[in-house]
């Protein structure tokens, strides 16, 4: 062990903190650039959140801007605005729908892949279903456009052929959330299956052999062995996802939405982005962002406490 070696170093009183720090000076030197990075790009924005309590002016900077009067004026403005309920509802609904629809598909995919015997088929199914995960949201939007747009959408082509009219899927509020959830599943169903597959491959094979001898059918084995064995993994993943329930998919929504679907598609992040960077209401946008960060922190700490109890943790 390194302790034994350290005690034999030339620094006599190896136990003192100073000597131990000196011995590791090269490691601290290595840490300088990363620490500088964290201070500049992670901690400075934390300090920057104070503008939520100020009337921020670009020219005065964070420090020079006047404190808001009253201090929480930007928060109360947001809570009293009609946006508050709408943004919260859109964010939670989109997030929940993704969870509720996405997880079963991934589990189903993992079970199906693990059940089939043909190795090449397995490999091809995995390679092909993981692939969309690596496409950017802009590309996924392009693909969605190819299927659903009025001008060239394949779906509209079929609808036009049978009814003579077209449906503007991409700009109609009643379709928007479905498109967001659907495209998310299309992109990430395979990726989400990887972790369940790993859990399934960790199941003791003798369980299946014993069940076989007892005359269990494949269907019974899935319901009596496979699913119960990965139940913990499912619950832990579900819990951890709940911790990020306010993350409805900023980039995806931003790429997919337009003014006509704001009522159902505008989420906290997109609103903050527009309010801050397009309307230059920095303080109001920061207040809303801070509100989201605070709730997010409480959620993550809570679910992590639960997950830890089950032997897992976010970090």
Partner 1 sequence: MVAVRETFSDRLFLFACYTFLTIMAFLAVFPLLYVVSVSITPFEEVLRHGGFVVVPRKVTLEAYAQFLSRTTIPRAYLVTTYITIAGTAINLFLTTLLAYPLSRKSLPGRGALLIFVILPMVFTGGIIPTYIVVRSYGLLNTYWAMMLPWAIWTFNAVVMKTFFEQIEQSLLDAATIDGAGEFTVLWRIVLPLSLPVLSTVGLFYGVNHWNEFFQAIMYISDPDMLPLQPVLRNILIGAESPTVDSVDVTLPADTLKMAAVVLTALPILMVYPFLQKHFTKGVLLGSVKG
Using CB under 8 A, which residues numbered 153 to 212 contact partner 1? 154, 157, 160, 186, 189-191, 194-195, 198, 205, 208-209, 212
Encoding tokens for residue 135? 């496409």
What is the 3-state composition of the chain as percent helix, strand, coil, each rounded to the nearest 5? Answer: 75, 0, 20
The torsion region of residue 267 among left (phi > 0), alpha (psi -120 to 50) and beta comes to: beta
**Closest approach of Cβ 289 to partner 1, in Å?**
3
- By CB under 8 A, the residues from 60 to 79 that bind partner 1 are 61-62
- By CB under 8 A, the residues from 85 to 144 that bind partner 1 are 108-109, 111-113, 115-117, 121, 124-132, 134-139, 141-143
Which one of 68-76, 78-86, 90-98, 296-304 is the stretch in contact with partner 1 (CB under 8 A)? 296-304
Name the residue nearer to partner 1 (CB basis): 12 or 213: 213
Residue 305 as a binder of partner 1 (CB under 8 A): the answer is no
Name the residue nearer to partner 1 (CB basis): 89 or 212: 212
Residue 301 as a binder of partner 1 (CB under 8 A): the answer is yes
**Closest approach of Cβ 74 to partner 1, in Å?**
11
> How big is the site for partner 1, counted in residues (CB under 8 A)?
110
Which one of 2-10, 70-78, 92-100, 259-267 is the stretch in contact with partner 1 (CB under 8 A)? 2-10
With 0-12 CB in 10 A as exposed, 13-18 as middle and 19+ as buried, what is 176? buried
Residue with tokens 């269907």: 219
145, 207, 227, 241: which one binds partner 1 (CB under 8 A): 145
68, 290, 303, 307: which one binds partner 1 (CB under 8 A): 290
Cα–Cα distances (Å) from 70 to 64, 73, 79, 80, 101, in that order, read 17, 5, 15, 15, 44
Residue 213 as a binder of partner 1 (CB under 8 A): the answer is yes
- By CB under 8 A, the residues from 247 to 266 that bind partner 1 are 250-251, 254-255
Residue 238 as a binder of partner 1 (CB under 8 A): the answer is no
Whether the CB-CB separation of 233 and 217 falls below 8 Å is answered with no
Name the residue nearer to partner 1 (CB basis): 4 or 80: 4
- Taking alpha carbons only, the member of 260, 288, 293 closest to residue 274 is 288
Whether the CB-CB separation of 51 and 282 falls below 8 Å is answered with yes
- Give the C-alpha separation, 176 to 267, whole Å: 12
Whether the CB-CB separation of 313 and 304 falls below 8 Å is answered with yes
């Amino acid at each position: 062990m390194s302790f034994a070696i350290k005690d034999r170093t030339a620094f006599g009183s190896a136990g003192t903190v100073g000597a131990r720090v000196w011995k590791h000076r090269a490691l601290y030197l290595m840490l300088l650039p990363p620490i500088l990075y964290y201070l500049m790009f992670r901690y400075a924005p934390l300090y920057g959140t104070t503008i939520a309590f100020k009337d921020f002016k670009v020219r005065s900077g964070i420090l020079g801007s006047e404190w808001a009067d009253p201090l929480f004026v930007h928060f109360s403005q947001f809570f009293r605005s009609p946006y508050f309920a709408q943004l919260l509802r859109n964010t939670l609904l989109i997030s929940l729908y993704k969870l509720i629809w996405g997880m079963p598909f991934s589990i189903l995919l993992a079970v199906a892949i693990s059940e089939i015997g043909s190795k090449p088929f397995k490999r091809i199914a995995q390679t092909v279903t993981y692939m969309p995960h690596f496409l950017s949201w802009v590309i996924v939007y392009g693909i969605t456009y190819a299927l659903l747009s009025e001008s060239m959408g394949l779906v509209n082509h079929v609808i036009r052929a049978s009814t003579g009219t077209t449906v503007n899927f991409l700009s109609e509020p009643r379709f928007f959330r479905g498109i967001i959830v659907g495209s998310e599943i299309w992109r990430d169903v395979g990726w989400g299956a990887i972790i369940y597959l790993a859990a399934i491959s960790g199941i003791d094979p003798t369980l299946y052999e014993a069940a076989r001898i007892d005359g269990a059918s494949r269907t019974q084995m899935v319901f009596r062995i496979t699913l119960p064995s990965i139940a913990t993994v499912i619950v832990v993943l579900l819990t951890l996802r709940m911790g990020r329930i306010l993350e409805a998919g900023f980039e995806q929504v931003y790429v997919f939405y337009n003014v006509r679907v704001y009522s159902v598609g505008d989420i906290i992040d997109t609103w903050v982005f527009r309010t801050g960077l397009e309307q230059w209401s920095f303080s109001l946008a920061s207040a809303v962002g801070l509100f989201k960060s605070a709730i997010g922190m409480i959620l993550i700490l809570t679910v992590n406490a639960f997950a830890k109890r089950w032997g897992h943790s976010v970090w």
